[in-house]
Structure 1
Amino acid sequence: MSEPLLPTDPASIGGHRLLARLGAGGMGVVYLGRTEAGALAAVKVIQAEYADDPGFRARFRREVDLARRVSSPWAVPVTGAAPDAAEPWLATAFVPGPSLGEAVTRHGPLPARSARALARMLAGALGAVHQAGLVHRDVKPGNVLLAVDGPRLIDFGIARATDETALTSPGIVVGTPGYLAPEQAEARGAEVGPASDVFSLGCLLAYALTGRPPFGGGSADALLYRTVHDDPDIDGAWGDDDPELRRFLLACLAKDPAERPTTERIGAELVEDAVPAGAPADWLPEDVVRGIADHAARMLALPDIEPTVAGEAGAGDDGDRQSPSRRRLLVLSGAALFAVAGGGGAWAVLRGDDSRTDGTDGTDEESGPRWAIGIQADLSGAGRAAGRAQEQGARLAIEQYNARKPGKDATGGPDWPFRLALRTADDGGSAQRAPAAAKKLIEDPDVLAVLGPTTDTTAEQVVGAYDESLLPLLTLSAGGMMMTSNKPRSLVLCRPGDAALSVPIAVHLAQQAAKDKEMGRPGLLQDRTAQTYAWESATITSLLLRQSGMPAYPRVIPANVEDMKPVVTDILKAGTGSFVYAGYAPGAAKVARELAAAGFDGPRLASQAVLDPRFLELAGDAAEGWLLTSSFVSAADTPKAADFSAAFRERFGGPPPYYAAEAYDSVNLVIRELVKGTKSVKGVRTPPKRAELVGLLRRSTYAGITKTYAFDAEEGTFAGQGVFLYEVKDGAFRFLGPAPTGA
C-alpha cells in the first residue's frame, strides 16, 4: 500500500510530482509520482551513499539500459531515468493493481482459462525480453502485477544480457528460490538463458493454478535441492479438466533446458481463451477483477501532501517545484466502479477579476453585501474552449440575477437579499498552476462556492485543498474516477461520472442486436494513450456488454501507437458487427479512417473525450455516423434552453458553446441555495457558511435547463439523469438528446 511522504522526501524528481511512498529498502525509495501531463509513474530513487559507489552506479545504469530495451504491452515500460544524477532515479509506468501473489492469496487459485491467458501474455512479455537479448532471471508471482486489461511483468534489476559476463560472483545463486530453473539453482551461470525464464514461468503458472509453489516451501537450500532433483507438484482440480494445460506445464518445468518450449511456441499453442496480442477485459474471474479495483482504490487513496517550501529542491530535482496547498488524490472505489450497470470583443472583459463598478457584479455598495461565486478554469491553455464557455455561462447567470428588481417572497422576506460578483482564477489547464489558482479563491472570504476546474488533471491537484477549506466545489467537466473514493466533504459533481457514459453504449448495442440477430459481437479497443480514462471506459463497457449477453472482442494497444491498421484488421477479422473505441479524439480519428478504408459501416461508438473538434478535423469523412455519449447538451438544440441561448447570443455575440448552459444551471443552483440559506438579523444579512452551503447543495434537487440536478447527500456525487447522445452527420456533431438507459 502507499504511505505518506516524509518531511525529508523531495517534492518532485525529474518532472514527477511525488505523491506517496510505494516502498523503501536499504538502497533507496520507490515513490508514486505524477508527470505534468497527468501520467502516474513508479519512481525508484537511489540513496546518495550508494550512488557514490562506482560499482553500484554502474549496475544501476545497466538496469536502466536493460529495462529500456524491452517493449511489450505486458512489460512495464521505462518512462524516464537519470542514472548519472546525484541521486539516480528510474521511472516506470505505474500499475495500481495487486501482484499475482497477492491476488492468489486473497482470492484463491485461478481457473484454467485465466491461467492460459496469463501464460500467453507473460510469454509475450518474456519474448520481448529475449528479443532484446536479455534474460529476466526473476519471474515470480511478486513480479507480475495484475490489471483488468492484462498482467505486467516488472523488475529488471537482476536481468542480464545473454552475451555478457555475469556481474555477480561465480557460485552465487541469483533469483528467488522456488521459482528458479535447475541451472540457476546450481549457479551454472553459462547455462542460464531464455529457457530459464520459461521454467520460472512454469513455476509461476503452477502457483497460479494450485495456490502453492511447485517445489513446496521451506528453507532456500531445500527449495534449491527439490528444484534440481524432484518432480514438480502440480496436482489440482484443474488437472483433470485440462490435460493439455498439464502437459504444457510439465514441458515448461523440464529439467533439461532444451526440452522446454520457447516463448514463441507458447504463444502458438495457447490459443484457446486468449487473444493474439491483446487481453480480454474478462480474462480474470469477477472477484479478482473487483479485487483489482479495490486494490487500485487503496493504492491511490493518498494521504494529504504537505506544501513544499521553495528552495529545498533535492538532488536530481528538475527545478519545477510548486508550493501547492494540501490536496489528496481520490479514486472511485471498486464497489462503486462495478455498481455502474464567443465573441472576441467580449473576451477582453472576461479574463481577470471583476473590476466594473456599474452595479452589475455586486460592487454597488448601496446594494448590500458583496458576495461572490468563483470559477477556477483553463482560460488560456489547451482546454480554454471549455473553460471560457463555463466562465461565460456563469457570468450570464450572475448578471441576470443582479439585474432583478427586489421583491418579497411568500413569507414577506426579501427574495433578492444580496448581489453577487464572479471571481475568476485561470489555471491554464496546468497541474502546476492549479494549486495557486485554488488558493486565490479559497483565501478570498467573499467566495462562497467555486465552479471548476476544467480538467481531471487540474481537479485532482486541488480537490483536497477545497475539501480542507470546506469551500463547495461544483465540477462541470471533470468526471473521472479519481474524484470520490475518500468521500470528500465539499465536492458537488454536477455531471455523471465518466463510468456512467459507458452505460448507453452497451444499451444502444443491445438494442441494435435485438433488431439484427446476425450482428456480430462488439469489438472493443482500449488505447492506453488515454490512461485511466480509457481503462475506465473499456472496463465498464466490457462488463456491461457481458452482462447483456454480448461479450466484446477486446484489444489493448500501447500508448502513442501511430499505425492502427493491424489492430483494426484483427478486430474486424473476429467477425465484429460493431466497434467501441476507448480513448481520446486523435486516436479515434485514426481508427475511424482505418474502419472506413476497410468498408466497415456498422455501429461505431465512443464516449465524451472523442466529442472534440479534432476528431472531425483529423477523421474527415470517416467520422460520419459515429455515435458519442456526453454529459453536456447542445443548448441551441435544447428547447428548455431557448431563452438562455438568445440571452447568451446577445451578451457574447454567438451561440452558447458546450458547457456554457451547464455552468449557467450550476450558478443558478448555487444562487437558489444561497437565497434559502441567507439569514437576516436586525437588517444585517449573512450568507450561509461554506460548510452549510455544501449541505444545502448536496440535499437539493434542481430542474435546470439542461437536466435535473440531484446528488448523493453523503458523497456529493451526481444522482440525476444526465447522459446525452450525439451523432456525426454532415461533418458536424448533431445533438440527439438524452441517451438510452434501458434496452
Structure 2
Amino acid sequence: MPAAGGLVGLLAGDPSVIGGYRLLGRLGAGGMGVVYLGRTDAGELAAVKVTLADRAERADFRARFRREVEAARRVVSPWAVPVLGADPDAPEPWLATAFVPGPSLGEAVVAHGPLPGRSLRVLGGAVARALAAVHAAGLVHRDVKPGNVLLAVDGPRLIDFGIARAADPAAETALTGTDLVVGTPGFLAPEQAEARTEDIGPASDVFAFGCLLAYAATGRPPFGTGAVDALMYRTVHDEPDLDGVPPGLLPLLRDCLAKDPAARPTAAELAGRLVVDTPGTASDWLPAPVVHTIAERSARMLALPDIEATTAGTAPPEPPSRSRRRFLLASGAAAVLAAGGAGTWLALRDDRPDAKGTPPPKARRWTIGVQADLSGPGKELGQAQERGVRLAVEAFNSRKDRPFTLDVKVSDDRGDQTRALAAARALTTDPDVLGIVGPSHDYTGYEALPAYDEALLPVLTVSAGLNLLVSPAQNQGRSILRACPIHAYGGMCLAYHAQAVHHPKRPGLLQERTDDTYSWQYMLGADFGFRQGGIRPHPRVIPGGAKGLERVLGEMVDAGIDAYVHAGLLPSAVRAAKALDALGFTGPRLAGQHVFGDGFLREAGRAAEGWTLGAPVIDPATRKEAAAFVAAHRTRYGTAPGWYAGEAYDITLFLAKHVEEAYRKSGKRPDRTTLPAVLRKAVLTGALSRRSFDESGNLGGSGTFMYAVENGRYRSLGYAPLGPPKQAGS
C-alpha cells in the first residue's frame, strides 16, 4: 500500500464512495487496480485498494484476494498496518487499511539519505516484531522491501500482504507454481531467487529483512542494482556489500544474509537482539528532514476536499467542521507538532483553509518536463538531451506568432533506479507539465512506469529501448512514445548490416549478463537476424562483470569466428576491443546502443579502430536540415551537439506543435491525458529524421543508424538495412 506522497486527483471514471469510504484521490495505480485515499464520515483516513473488474473475473483471483484479506487480518502487531474493512465478493473487490501519512523507507532514503544508528535500531526492532507476528500467524510475507515499510511518527509500519503465503508450502499448492519467482529482486532470499518453493519460509523474510536494514544503513541494496537476472545471480552467489553499515549491526546483518536458510536467526530472535526504547515521537527516532516530510504530508490532509457523490443513492456529505479537520491531524501531524514545537506549527499555519493572507494562486504555466540522468554515470547522454529540449523551447518561444510561452522543468534521476520513481513524480504530479522528454535510460524508465501510468501524460523517449517500457499486454507504458527501436530490433540491425557489408560465415555472439535484459535482447535479435540469412552463429555467455572475458574471446577466435558481435555494456566492450586487438583479430567487430558514444572512443583508444556500432541517433553534421540546430547549439553551449541532443530537439518541437494545434482547435489549454493518442497517430518530421509510431507508441520502421570508427571518430554509414541481403528493401 503506498504512502502519502503521490496523492493525485480522481479521474473522471473513478467512483467517489467505496464501502462507506469517501474517496479523496489516488495514491497509486497499476495493472492490478487502484489504491485510493478514503475517509469515513467520522474523519478516519484509509488506503483503499480496489481491483480492476477484469482481474476479478479471473477464476482464481477472488480466492487469492480473499487469502490476502485473511492473511492481513491474522497479523496482530502495533508495527503492522491493520485491516479496517474489505469485500472480496464485490464486483471490484476492495481492501481498506489504516492510512499512514509518512513516506516509505525507500522514499525517505532516496530523498534524505541513509538513516542514523538509533533510527536503524528502532526500524529494525519494529519490523522484526512485525515479522514475528506474521510468522506467528503461520504466514510468510515474501516481499519485505523499502516500499513496504512506512515511516510514521510513532514508528515504522509493515504493509502489503498481497503475496503472503502459508508457512507450510503444501497448504498453498493450489494457488502457486513451483517455478514462479515472487517478490522484489534485490530483496529476495536465494531460495526465492531460484524458485525453490520447498525452501521458502520465515527464514526467507529474515534474509529480506537483512537486505532492508542494509539498504536503510547505506542507501543502496546489498546486492546492487541492474537487470533482474544479474540481481538474482548476485543474491545466490555473491557476498553482500555491507560497506558503511554501523559496526554494531554488522554481525546481525551477516547472520540474516546467510545463504543457508537454516543458519539465519528467527524474527523473534532478531527482535530480542534489537531491543530499544519505544520510538515515542518522530523527533525521537527520525532525522529532522524525514520529520518535516511527515509534517508536510499530514498537513496536506487538512486541505483535502470533500467531493460530490457519484454513487447512486448516496447523500452528499456535510461540509467538514473544524473539529473534523483537527481529527485528521490527530493520527500524524499532531504528534509531529508536539515533537517539533512552535517552529513546526508556524511552518504549517498558512496551509490551513481558514488562514488569512494566503497568496493568490499562480498563473498556470505551459511546461515541458525532462527526466534524465544529469549527474550520474550516463550524464553525457542525459545532459545532451536536456540541451536539445532547451534549444527547442527557445526556438518555439522565439516565434512572434506563438500562442503561449513554454518553460522547461528538469528532474535528475542520476541514473539511479531507486531515485527514478520520485524523479518522475516530481514531473507527473505537476499539473503544469504537459509532457515529458525522457527517460534517458532503460531501467530508470522502467522504475518510473507507475508514475507515468497514473498520470497518463505524454512521455517521449529517444534513447530508452527496453521492450517492457511499452507493454499493452501488461497494461503499462500507456502514454509512452518511443522514438527509438527496442533493443532486440537493434541487435537484428547489427546482423543485417554485417551480412550486407561483410558476408560472415561464422559470426561470434557474446552476451554479457551484467545488464541482462539489454544484452539478452541484443543477443536474441542478432541471432535471429543471422539465422534469417541462413547463417548459424557461434554464441557464448559470460557472467556479470565480464569474468573470464579474455579467455572466452580467445576460445571464440580459436573456434574460427570471422565476425564478432558484442551484446553487453561499455566496460566489457572496451575490454573486448583491447583483447581482440591483442589476439590479432581483424574481422568485423560490432556493438550496439549501450556501447555507442564518445566514451568508447576515449577508453578503447586505438583498439576501437575498425569497430562498427549501431544506435538510434543521427549525426546532425550529416544533414543540412540540421544546420540551424547545430549553429544554435554552438552559440548557446560553445560546442557541437552531443549524441541524442538533436533527437531530443526534434521530439520536443513535435510535442509543442501538437499542444499548439490542440489549443488552437479548442481555444483552451489541452487536457494532457488526450495528447498521447494524438501523438501516436502523427508523423514526426524534424531536423534530423522522419519518424512515425504504431498504436502502442513504438517506433515504426528501422530507426537504427550505423557508424564506423575511423581515426578515433565515428563516420556515419547511414540507416541499417531492414533485413538480410536477400530481403533488403522489403
- TM-score w.r.t. the length of structure 1 is 0.53
Aligned amino acid, residue 42 of structure 1: A
For 1:504, which of 493, 496, 506 is the aligned residue?
Answer: 493
2:55 corresponds in structure 1 to: none
Are the equivalent residues in 1 in contact too, given 2:370–2:410 (CA < 8 A)?
yes
Question: Matches of 1:373 and 1:40 in 2, distance apart?
Answer: 45
Task: Give the secondary structure class of the aligned counterpart of 1:454.
Answer: coil
The one-letter code of the counterpart of 1:472 is P
Q: What is the aligned counterpart of 1:437 among 414, 423, 433?
A: 423
Q: Alpha-carbon deviation of 1:75?
A: 11
Give the match for residue 409 of structure 1.
none
Once the two structures are TM-superposed, the CA of residue 506 in structure 1 deviates from its matched residue by 1.4
Query: Which residue in the other structure is 1:386 paired with?
Result: 381
Does the 8 Å contact 1:629/1:726 carry over to 2? yes
Unpaired segments ≥5 residues, structure 1: 53-70, 93-155, 160-309, 312-318, 326-367, 407-415
Q: Is the contact between residue 708 and residue 721 of structure 1 (CA under 8 Å) also seen in structure 2?
A: no
**Residues of 1 paired with 2:719 and 2:669: CA distance?**
36
Contact 2:651 2:684 in 1 (8 A): no
Q: Which runs of 5+ in 2 are unaligned?
A: 1-59, 73-79, 82-103, 107-142, 149-159, 173-180, 208-229, 243-249, 264-280, 283-289, 298-362, 726-730
Q: What does 1:332-351 align with in structure 2 at a 5 Å threshold?
A: none
SS in 1 for 2:706: strand
Cα separation, partners in 2 of 1:723 and 1:75, compared to 1, 3 Å: closer
Quote how far apart the aligned CAs of 1:32 are: 3.0
Q: Could you tell me how far apart the structure 1 residues matched to 2:638 and 2:448 are? A: 33
Which of 710, 716, 728 is equivalent to 2:697? 716
Which residues in structure 2 correspond to 1:268-307 (within 5 Å)?
A: none
**Secondary structure of 2:447's match?**
helix
Instruction: Output the CA distance in 2 between the equivalents of 1:468 and 1:509.
Output: 42
Residue 372 of structure 1 pairs with residue 367 of structure 2: yes
Cα-to-partner distance string for 1:667-716 (whole Å, 9 max, x where unaligned): 111111112111577xxx41221121111111111211222121112x11
Change (3 A) 1:371 1:495: same
Residue 78 of structure 1 corresponds to 237
The Cα shift of 1:569 comes to 1.4
Partner Cα distance (1:546, 1:91) in 2: 44
Amino acid in structure 1 at the alignment position of 2:490? L
The 2-side partners of 1:24 and 1:88 are apart by 24
Report Cα offsets for 1:380-409 as digits up to 9, x if no partner.
Answer: 222211111111111111111111112xxx
**What SS does the aligned partner of 1:492 have?**
strand
Does 1:47 pair with 2:202? yes
Match of 2:413 among 419, 427, 431: 427
Mapping 1:694-733, distance limit 5 Å? 694-713=676-695, 715-733=696-714
Assess if the C-alpha contact under 8 Å between 2:510 and 2:566 holds in 1.
yes
Structure 1's 559 and 712: CA in aligned 2 closer, same or farther, altered over 3 A? same
* Paired residues, number: 443
1:509-530 Cα shifts (integer Å, max 9, x gaps):
222465xxxx541011111122
| Matched-pair contact (CA < 8 Å) for 1:51–1:87 | no
1:490 aligns with 2:485: no
Identical residues among aligned pairs (%): 35
Q: 1:572: Cα distance to partner?
A: 1.2
Q: Residue 492 of structure 2 contacts residue 522 of structure 2 at CA under 8 Å; is this kept in 1?
A: no
Match of 2:585 in 1: 600
Aligned partners of 2:235, 2:548: CA distance in 1, in Å?
21
Within 5 Å, give how 1:189-200 maps onto structure 2: none
More deviation, 658-667/558-567: 558-567
2:451 corresponds in structure 1 to 465
Task: Give the aligned partner of residue 544 of structure 1.
Answer: 529
SS at match of 1:678: helix
> 1:691 is matched with which residue: 673, 676, 679?
673
Report the Cα distance in structure 2 between the residues aligned to 1:701 and 1:49, rounded to whole angstroms: 51
Give the whole-Å Cα distance in 1 for the aligned partners of 2:410 and 2:552: 45
Q: Distance in 1 between matches of 2:449 and 2:428?
A: 12
So what's the TM-score if we normalise by structure 2? Answer: 0.54
Aligned 8 A contact 1:379 1:385 in 2 = yes
- How far apart, in 1, do the equivalents of 2:648 and 2:659 lie? 16
1:633 aligned partner: 618
Equivalent residue number for residue 320 of structure 2: none
Q: Deviations over 1:216-248 (max 9, x none)?
A: xxxxxxxxxxxxxxxxxxxxxxxxxxxxxxxxx
Does the CA-based 8 Å contact 2:204-2:261 persist in structure 1? no
Distance change (3 Å), C-alpha of 1:75 and 1:442: closer
Give 3-state SS (helix, strand or coil) of 1:610's partner: coil
- Tell me which of 500, 514, 518 is aligned to 1:529: 514
Partner of 2:716: 735
Distance 1:74 1:381 in 2: 25
> SS of the residue aligned with 1:524?
strand
Q: How does 1:208-357 map to 2 (within 5 A)?
A: none
Specify the code of the residue in structure 2 equivalent to 1:47: P
The one-letter code sitting in structure 2 at the alignment partner of 1:734 is: R
3-state DSSP of counterpart to 2:716: strand
Which structure: larger Rg?
Answer: 1
CA contact (8 A) 2:364 2:432 kept: no
Contact map agreement 2:502 2:588 (CA 8 A) in 1: no
Structure 1 distance, partners of 2:162, 2:598, is: 39
Change (3 A) 1:32 1:707: farther
**Does structure 1 retain, via aligned residues, the 8 Å contact 2:203–2:261?**
no
Where does residue 299 of structure 1 map in the other structure? none
Q: Return closer, same or farther for 1:537/1:25 CA change in 2, 3 Å cut-off.
A: farther
Change (3 A) 1:563 1:48: closer
- The one-letter code matched in structure 1 to 2:710 is K
Alignment-derived partner of residue 604 in structure 2: 619
Using the TM superposition, give the Cα deviation of residue 91 of structure 1 relative to its aligned residue in structure 2, in angstroms: 9.4
Q: Describe how 1:467-482 pairs up with structure 2 within 5 A.
A: 467-482=453-468
Deviations 1:50-109 (A, max 9, x none): 979xxxxxxxxxxxxxxxxxx9x99984345699758976599xxxxxxxxxxxxxxxxx
Q: Is the 8 A contact 2:491 2:521 kept in 1?
A: no
**Residues 702 and 708 in structure 1, CA contact (< 8 A), matched pair in contact too:** yes
Q: Secondary structure at the match of 2:556?
A: helix
Q: Which residue in 2 is equivalent to 1:646?
A: 631
Contact 2:191 2:204 in 1 (8 A): no
Q: Distance in 2 between matches of 1:540 and 1:378?
A: 27
Partners of 2:405 and 2:592 in 1: CA distance: 39
Q: Deviations over 1:258-298 (max 9, x none)?
A: xxxxxxxxxxxxxxxxxxxxxxxxxxxxxxxxxxxxxxxxx
Tell me the amino acid that sits aligned with residue 631 of structure 2: A
